Amino acid sequence: MAERASLSVRGLVIAPGASPVTLTIAPGEIIGLAGLDGHGQERFLKVLAGLERPAGGDVTIDARAITSFRKAVASGIAYLPRDRRATGIFPTQSVLD
C-alpha cells in the first residue's frame, strides 16, 4: 500500500494574477521556501495554515480540505509568524491562559 501525502497543494493561487502552485509534501519531507521579502512567501504560508483564503486552488491533508485555521490546527499544521513579538503573543493573557 502506497503512503499517502501529508500535504497536497493543487493549483493554489495566493493572489489574483499569481502563478498557481501545485506540490505534494510527503511525511517526513523537509521543504525550503525562499524569495525576496514581499514576494508572497508569508501569504503562501498563511494560506497553508488556513489564516487567509487563496484566490484559487486548494490545500489538503490526507484528502481533508484545509479551509480554516481551526481545521489546519486540527490536522497538525502550526503557524509561526515572522514577527512573533508583535503578532504571535497575547499580551493581555497570562502564560497559564
Does the pTM surpass 0.85? The reply is no
Helix (H) or strand (E) holding 43: helix 41-48
Taking CA atoms, 87 is separated from 4, 46, 79, 82, 90, in Å, by: 34, 13, 11, 8, 8
Question: What one-letter code names the amino acid at 43?
Answer: R
Residues 6 or more apart in contact with residue 5 via CB below 8 angstroms: 24, 25, 26, 27, 62
pLDDT tens string, the chain, 97 residues long: the values are 455 558 999 999 999 999 999 999 998 888 898 889 888 999 999 999 999 999 999 999 988 999 999 999 988 888 888 777 777 777 787 777 7
